[in-house]
Amino acid sequence: MEAAGTARKVPQQERSRKSELKLLAAAEDVLAERGAGDFSLADVAARAGVTTGTIYSRFKGKGELVHAVHERVMDRMGAHAARLFAASDGPDGDPSGITHGGSFTGTHMTADPKPLISDLIVRLASVLETEAAVLRALMFHAVEDKSIARRGADAHRNLEALFDDALRRLQPVVPEFPAAQRYWAFTFSYDVLARHLGLGHSSARTEQDNWDEMLRNLSTMVSAYLLSCR
């Protein structure tokens, strides 16, 4: 697959933007289903209901289209993570609470920090699981595409920073976890989740029942590890 080359121009007119978003959505679906190796502009054109000429009028080729899809996915994943781990002080000024189903925010205090740590694991899992289908294809492609690998590494660091900040904001509930322990809590959690979702060098995700059980076990292990460091 050819390199993407220099940055392309983003459409300015509303109609053109909608047309491009339709192409990107179709390309993302094809990537998720077939992977980058079997990805073709003909399949994307058929999915989007356009001709391959229409695609070439907007993208130089498969490489640039895949890069555009990757950027779209990374932006979406980053926004999702930012919402889930967002800090917001409650009425009493406490930024440490977690309200289930919302952001990492509020005033919920508990003598037992394990549910709070577990909630963070579930939120991290949600970020990865939501994009898992297309991430599988893009991560495999990153092995031979340095630009995608670099952008993916940036997204990984951003996710780690959000998780780390959320752990540090538990400090009103428990003493602050050492930086090294926060790093390993994220790294271990990410690696386990990625393996179960079939990301990176893994081939396929687990069944849903095993996924739910894995989340419970992962939360228990990470909580025990972090709390042993207090």
Handedness of CA 162, 168, 174, 180 (dihedral sign): positive
pLDDT digits (tens, 9 = 90+) for 19-70: 899 999 999 999 999 988 889 999 999 999 999 999 999 999 999 999 999 9
Q: Which residues contact 103 (CB under 8 A, 6 or more apart)?
A: 83, 84, 85, 86, 88
Task: Read off the pLDDT band of 16 (50, 70, 90).
Answer: confident
pLDDT for residue 230 is more than 90: no
The per-residue pLDDT for 25 is 96
The per-residue pLDDT for 93 is 37
Percentage of the chain lying above the pLDDT 90 cut: 63
Report the distance separating Cα 85 and Cα 122, nearest Å: 11
Selection from 8-22, 80-94, 168-182 with the highest mean pLDDT? 168-182
The per-residue pLDDT for 112 is 78
Domain 71-227 indexed as CATH 1.10.3470: no
Going from the C-alpha of 110 to that of each of 76, 113, 196, the distances in angstroms are 32, 6, 31
What would the two tokens of residue 31 be? 């990537």
pLDDT digits (tens, 9 = 90+) for 89-122: 433 334 444 443 344 444 444 567 889 999 999 9
The per-residue pLDDT for 210 is 87
What are the sequence ranges of the domains in the chain?
A: 71-227
pLDDT for residue 2 is more than 70: no
Strand runs (DSSP E) across 50-168, as ranges? none
